Structure 1
């Protein structure tokens, strides 16, 4: 597959995957088309077969049972996360202020708030409702058109805006949806019910019971730059890694046992049923192994590559990076290192990744945060600590991480997919002699 074909598929995925629920839905469609089938609650796993399972509709785990017994050769594993910082709608969101209909929102994760102003926003997520007969039903919803905007305050009313404007998340970022002067405020749940009926003709939608909904930028993902050097999109952190890991798994030859896990809730600590601190991965590995003794052997022989975007060297803020560790866009995937274990990389796992990349003729970079700055983290240390599996943290260099629209190099994701595919197909022990 050419880089152009890869990027077009990536852009399409980013446009459809507007929430973690929609990301999992899109991945399931592609996995099923490639012969993966849902993992049932009983029965033996068969060599050569492909399976997947989901958790909370927002996390996904897919794997291939290789021709050799997995405990003997281990699992080649790639991990990523499906969630991104965003604005989520509160349970009782309707507000009528100064003649405008607005919705109250809660900030999810460490969002960069200023870029949310003056964007054409739409709304998507999961809704629970009473179906015919009063039973509980759930469905995904996506309005797929601009519904709202958070207007900036004009500079004439805040002359210090360019020097010192802060954002109060309780009062300053309520999206405006309509003019409602002299009217009763609209019922948001009625709006949801109407949209569900539009998306699912014939679906009997009774009372809306609850929802998990987030606003998103309706501008599509795109290639930008004079030579198409960049990918600009919402949710590159970390749907780019989810797609890259999935593409590599779909291209795997199936000789070796390999696995992809895409967890929700990484941006808020990973402690949930669907998060990396939950039981999804370890319980699945236990089933693959077949016994606790075999699980121990499987863990010892396995390796995880945790893929999560890295901070690219910003040309306007080069001093925010360590002098020797400023990754450039389109210069290869980044090995992320932190002495205080905010990343799970060690010399062994980093060295193995470098060898894989060399065989694909893909350059590799390194990232170490400035010693006088705090370091973020990933699912890598959580997975390593919870399972005992050797883990490496890598990522594609990115600008504007946690903004409503982020920027990555147009060559990096395809190159990373090639390295991950080689990892999935690697024959022989992952343990040094």
Structure 2
């Protein structure tokens, strides 16, 4: 797999999964408050900071808190001029972001753009349209520290911001995104000159940051793509809604996602959305975006119309079953993917699974019979990938046939959510030793593969 930061699915019935870094959650209230508006002290402090930086004086750091926290931290102590100036400037920037958030949620494009310089408005206009199309219901920016001068850009400042956001559902646990904003002072007013693309793992750049989007919304899902692929949306939405009903059964934590988000990527978008760089055999993946949510991305160039339903069931099952922080033990890849493949099969007979031919090749081609070494490499052949997914499916299928779906979900929770060893989980959930069950599963799949 790639960097261990997402759940990835392979081509033509084969899929893949990878660990995810912990997303950040929380509903923080918008920062507010006023700051001193006297021109003299602010400009004196800023001039001092710039002069010190220009002279190469070490240790001049623009540190501090922003918004309400800034006011609380100032009680009982006196800041140096540089810190005080940076704090006041950060409060003004945060107030501008709060105004922009209110405009976004209120459908006021003019107000959304009003805080920005003209050079930033084309990008912001596109972002505004994409977020409105996604039915944004929560948008709460919180500054991460104080602004800092931008190297090589005199008079420009950078403020890191974390945004909590929701689509469609107003009472969801928000997803999060970390972005950089750049500002310039016009008189005493900070004006937004650029919003940077998010780069932080696990998710990377979101589709709504960089693309025009066409969107369709159903009862359980939201599907989005580029305007060029808009005609695909009605069928895609119908298939996603059907897949969601299956995926809801695999909510290991007990509560299904409030909404499944599915992004259908064209060739260029596949290379850019969520950082790109997927293994060449990937047809889709689920990536953690905070708040316990996992966005699903499908590769329009790889998935066939006949395989769309199975792929959606697989990926939405990842979104339902995985813990908020993803998973990090690559040796459990077979279980994570096996459960998703089982959901994708949706009760079809074992002999109809598309990966059986690849399973035979893998079993007869020197596989060591160990599940913990099953995960395919990024450059694995399609046969190796399909065989690995097929083995995972057959192992989970055998466990379900023997113990039932609920006990297998309990086993999955113990291993993937609670980080218990396979030995402990098998003893606790099944009442049988894992080494014997492992060998039993291997015998089963070898028999199926012939």
TM bucket, shorter chain: under 0.3
Larger radius of gyration: 2
- Normalized per residue, the structure richer in helix is 2
What is the TM-score with the length of structure 1 in the denominator?
0.26
- Normalized per residue, the structure richer in strand is 1
Of structures 1 and 2, the one scoring higher in RCO (CA 8 A, sep 6+) is: 1
